[in-house]
Amino acid sequence: MATAISNDLQEQTLGPVPTTMRAAVYRGVNDVRVETVPVPKIGAGEVLIRVACCGVCGTDLKKIHTGSHSAPRIFGHEFAGTVAAVGQGVRGFRIGDRVLSYHHAPCGQCYYCRKKTFAQCETYKRVGCTAGFEPSGGGFAEYVRVMDWIVRQALIRIPEGIPFEQAAFVEPVNTVLKGVRRLDLADDETVLVIGQGPIGILLATLSARSGAKVLTSDLYPERHAIAAAYGLRHPIDAGREDVVAAARAASEGRGADAVILAVGGNALIRTAIDAARPGGRILFFAQTQHSDATFDPAVVCMDEKTLLGSYSSSFEIESDVEDLVFGGYRGGFDLTRLISHRFPLEEAVEAIRVASTPTAASMKIFIHP
């Protein structure tokens, strides 16, 4: 282990860290370029991670395609890698540790944290990981700087024997488990999950752990085949079947007790509401863009249907998530089977294109710096 001394802090490094690196830089709407940029410098309490892999998330894609965020930025928040440098004062992590990092962490003290709505905490809304420019995750790069409050609360060591790709699913699994728990499912209920992309399959799989009967709806038979490998046995071919009618037929004519909408946009909101029984619950999971949507208010009042939302992760459930992802891998819960494409960082633009134009053959897309 070599030790490099800077003017204002002492940091530990394993060999020389380069001064520049390659990264996929967002330059504007639909404009991402692989460029050479400086390796971010760390301060006291921070660590530098050499990225091993990073999943492409739908929220990354929305930011790239809508221009909702200023440029330049380096996106990518579902990453895992190796600690390459440790800033002064860091406790519990050493050079060479295999880790993953959340890019958000709550303060734990504000009104929203006390009410356990952590994603609404102002500290949580600050992004604490960056590969340069405005902090935006940074996983689409070779190195990521993890800031001090994230290191203290949301930097997770990866157990021996767990692949980096499996570990990179920790953050999305947290968001999924949070959403499923909001529904408070019972073992005598029927759940419909609309959309069987990788997140939809995760939502359905974790819903099934409640003992509920889980129906899965998607246009692609190929995705139903992947879902079946995770034990999901009640597919609805949305290209040929009436999803609402199928949900009612599977629930003695009532409709699903709970419906999860795992498809972005508003086109299927009506379907999700109609597929729920009177008194049922509808969870919007993929509706992360502000827009106007119409629905019949009487279904909420007279039919007593409940509309719910769930966004981002919850630190209350982190130990359960680690059990699912790390312990589950040893028990056969292999999330890497959801990965359909792997791209080197130099082909990050193509990775984003493939992720943005889903087909029957595309599921989770990973970038490997």
pLDDT tens across 198-212, in order? 999 999 999 999 999
Lowest mean pLDDT among 1-10, 105-114, 231-240: 1-10
Give per-residue pLDDT as tens, 271-295: 999 999 999 999 999 999 899 999 9
pLDDT of 216-247, one tens digit each?
999 999 999 999 999 999 999 999 999 999 99
How far is residue 296's CA from residue 277's CA, in Å, rounded to a whole number? 15
pLDDT at 5 over 70: no
| Nearby residues of 117 by Cβ (< 8 Å), 6 or more positions away | none
Residue 28 has a CB neighbour count (10 Å cut-off) of 12
Strands (E), the chain: 2-5, 10-13, 20-28, 31-38, 47-55, 78-86, 98-101, 129-130, 143-146, 155-157, 190-194, 213-218, 235-237, 256-261, 276-284, 306-309, 339-344, 364-368
CA distance 321 to 174: 6
Asked if residues 20 and 51 have their Cβ atoms less than 8 Å apart, the reply is no
- Quick check: pTM over 0.75? yes
The domain 174-309 is placed in CATH, from the list 3.30.70.150, 3.40.50.300, 3.40.50.720, 3.80.30.20, at 3.40.50.720
Instruction: Tell whether the model's pLDDT for residue 359 goes beyond 70.
Output: yes
In Å, how far are 41, 345, 363 from 358, measured between CA atoms? 36, 20, 7
Give 134's DSSP letter.
B
Average pLDDT over residues 133-138: 98
Encoded tokens for 286: 């993929």
Residue range 28-37: average pLDDT? Answer: 98
Please state the rounded mean pLDDT for residues 133-140. 98
pLDDT digits (tens, 9 = 90+) for 45-88: 999 999 999 999 999 999 999 999 999 999 999 999 999 999 99
Q: Spell out the CATH class of 2-158+334-368.
A: alpha beta
pLDDT confidence of residue 16: 84
Share of the chain above pLDDT 70, in %: 96
**The two three-digit tokens of residue 224, written as one number:** 């139903």
Domain ranges of the chain: 2-158+334-368, 174-309
Q: Mean pLDDT for the chain?
A: 95
Instruction: Flag whether pLDDT at 40 surpasses 80.
Output: yes
